[in-house]
Structure 1
Amino acid sequence: MVQPTDQRENQTRAGAAAPQEVTPGVILTEGYAGLEAQALGLAQRIGVTAATRTLRSERPWTWMPARFWPKPLDHVGGLHDLADGLVLTVGGTGGAIGAALRRERGRRVVQIQNPRMKLDRFDLVVANRHDEITGPNVLLTRTALHRVTPPVLEEARLVWQDRLAGLPRPLVAVLVGGANGRFRLGAPEAHALAAGLAAMMRTDRVGIALTPSRRTGTEVRGILEGALQPLGAWIWDMQGQNPYLGLLACADAIVVTSDSVSMVSEAAATHAPVLVAELPGRSRRIGLFLRDLIDAGRVRPFNGRLETWDATPLDDSDAIADEVCRRLGLTGPNRYPEQEV
């Protein structure tokens, strides 16, 4: 089991020169954007050029978890011509297929997230601390893997800083998720969130730039727009270029809803203080995740007021990628060559 070390060490390693070498591979996902982003984030940081395959199955196999399938490779199409190289799998179905590929075809497999099956069926398992699993081949991270690196943020800042220049400062980026199996975000929750954001705008004189996600309902977007746009908030209308990275890059503070580990993790990778707007619902895993970041001083609950403090980016992705490269004998990329000395 490996737990990433101090963030300053991560930054030192990230800035060190390393040979440029590309390793082929393939990513197997269930088509969920958040899961795919984690696999792409790891692939990028370990220097793997990976084609993405979306796993599709048909009834009756869709009615049961893939870990219970008797012959997983027979129930998913498009696996006969997989690219050579490392296999990155994510989620439950990805895990079942990855374990079968390793067992039956001798492929090297790195599983992202708890596969909910025997961990020794994989070369490595990269999971969050809140998954509460351990093992000699398990690498634990405090945050979700992602692609929000310093160069990505800088590029987004250059694109969006002028577009957001007319908004008051300090500028608060608001990242809104949506209802899922654990949390609610309907009309009552939207009204409560809007009231808190409006109070912050009036009391603390902040500017707001808000982006919904694909999971944000139309009614919720309408409530937020109706309450905040008259006060001068900028809200993405879901048309044109997605401002998500630009908001992360330009924000003086970030408010993010509690339903998404990925959004909170990406916000925590910036230099901005992160305030978490709690939604009604319950998830032991997300509760443990948020408590870990609160204890680390990286996030605080949002209570309708702006809070600022000296925030240091928290991102375990590079440390995890370094360990994956070490364990698998990969050279890895020079992630941030412009920082060489």
Structure 2
Amino acid sequence: MSDPVSIWVVSDGRTGIENQALGLAEAVQRLTPAEITVKQIRWRPLFDRLPSALKTPAMLASAPLAAPWPDLWIAAGRATLPLSTRIKRWSGGKTFVVQTQDPRWANDRYDLIVAPAHDDLSGDNVFEITGSPHRVTPERIAQAAPAFADRIAPLPHPRVAVLIGGRSKAFDLTQAHAADLADRIAAAVRASGGSLMLTFSRRTPEAAKAVMTERLSGLPGWIWDGTGDNPLFGFLHFADHVLVTQDSANMAAEASSTGKPVHILPMVALKPAGKFARLHEDLQSQGATRPFDGALDRWTYAPLAETDRAAHAVLEAMRAR
């Protein structure tokens, strides 16, 4: 493509949702010159819960979208669907429309759907990847690492990064279960003579966070309390092992892009694992992850680069059109 590709990244602005579309856009930009513009969509509260088919641009609380329209529209999340299905008509067919995840509505009206394989979605316009698109790359975490080197580099090996999720529709992290996980993690770190680097998610219940902090604070390392810059990328860069709770498809897929052993921590299941089981089977079949058994075993695998693979598919589909 001779001219830079103009890309709009469209979401409701929630970090986890926006990063899926932005990660894919950045992967496209690594392959071809491109200009990325982020657009955040918000609907007026009165209309927010309406079915997508009934929403119109006049119901937006955010600024209206207007030409010049982009070459490539990459959107994520339910809020974008009423616009994703109209942008091709508005642009006179110029804009190539990519939706991440399973839209579950009007799936034939997008040029390409980049969907997690564990969603079990099929169709001529569906491109499946392991996990969801994300922004984690070896280069990005290496660039972020120096900001945290003073605190992390002196820590003894093996350095164990622990990424804790929390309550969701499918899983819970009770205080008792959190205490048990903390004891198992502490035993593994002590037995190895290593150190701990732990971060909680926004979904981690306060009781679980408190008991894990109490039981793990005696280990060498760093339990991030949420103040200051987020050290996640520093943790991933300096880690020898990564432990991730099974509730987050995003965290597991992101950790698997490092090429480091990823140990999956069990959670309290609230319903059959379903798509989470399919995801973890996929990651395990690719050699990236194993269930945490209390030991810090090492293994190697080719780092997953699923977002880059999806970006190649987007550009190929655009050229083919």
Deviates more, 1:215-224 or 1:37-46: 215-224
8 Å CA contact retained: 1:102, 1:121: no
Q: Which runs of 5+ in 2 are unaligned?
A: none
Structure 1: stretches of 5+ with no match in the other structure? 1-18, 331-341
Q: Distance in 2 between matches of 1:244 and 1:22?
A: 32
The structure showing larger relative contact order (alpha-carbon pairs under 8 Å, at least 6 residues apart) is 1
1:23 paired to 2:13: no
Amino acid at match of 1:46: V
2:305 is the counterpart of 1:318: no
Select between 27-36 and 290-299 the one with higher mean Cα deviation.
27-36
Match of 2:284 among 267, 288, 294: 294
TM-score (norm 1): 0.84
**What is the CA deviation profile of residues 247-274 of structure 1, one whole-angstrom value per residue up to 9, with x for unaligned ones?**
1111101001111111111100002100
Tell me which residue corresponds to 1:44.
26
Inter-CA distance 21–163: structure 2 relative to 1 (3 Å threshold):
farther
User: How far apart, in 2, do the equivalents of 1:299 and 1:229 lie?
Assistant: 26
Counterpart Cα distance in 2 of 1:104 and 1:210: 47
2:87 corresponds to which letter in structure 1?
Answer: L
Q: Would you say how many aligned residue pairs link Structure 1 and Structure 2? A: 310
Alpha-carbon distance in structure 2 between the residues aligned to 1:166 and 1:149: 24
Once the two structures are TM-superposed, the CA of residue 126 in structure 1 deviates from its matched residue by 0.6
What SS is found at the alignment partner of 1:80?
A: coil
In structure 2, the CA distance between the partners of 1:306 and 1:83, relative to structure 1 (3 Å rule), is farther
Partner in structure 2 of residue 84 of structure 1: 69
Shift of 1:275: 0.4
| Equivalent position of 2:224 in the other structure | 236
The CA distance in 1 between the partners of 2:128 and 2:274, in whole Å, is: 17
2:114–2:129: 8 Å Cα contact kept in structure 1?
Answer: yes
Matches of residues 1-341 of structure 1 in structure 2 within 5 Å?
A: 22-47=4-29, 48-64=34-50, 66-67=51-52, 69-77=53-61, 78-81=63-66, 84-85=69-70, 86-106=72-92, 107-281=95-269, 282=271, 283-329=273-319
Shift of 1:207: 1.0
Whole-angstrom CA distance in 2 between matches of 1:303 and 1:30: 39
Distance 1:265 1:239, change over 3 A: same
- 1:83–1:151 distance in 2 versus 1, CA, 3 Å: farther
Contact 1:25 1:83 in 2 (8 A): no
CA drift at 1:104: 5.0
Q: Report if the CA contact (8 A) 2:152-2:221 is conserved.
A: no
What do you get for the CA RMSD once the two structures are aligned?
2.2
Task: State the AA in 1 paired with 2:59.
Answer: H
* 1:191 positional shift: 1.1
- Per-residue CA deviations over 1:79-135 (Å, capped at 9, x if unaligned) read 333662122111222233211333455443111110002322011111111111122
Displacement of 1:227 in angstroms is 0.4
Is this contact kept in 2: 1:38–1:146, CA < 8 A?
A: yes
Distance, in Å, in 2 between the alignment partners of 1:20 and 1:259 is 43
CA distance in 2, matches of 1:170, 1:21: 47
Q: Distance in 1 between matches of 2:3 and 2:224?
A: 39
One-letter amino acid matched to 1:70: L
Provide, for residues 135-170 of structure 1, a one-character-per-residue CA deviation record: whole Å limited to 9, x for no partner: 221111013211112221221333333421232211
Q: Which residue of 2 aligns with 1:11?
A: none
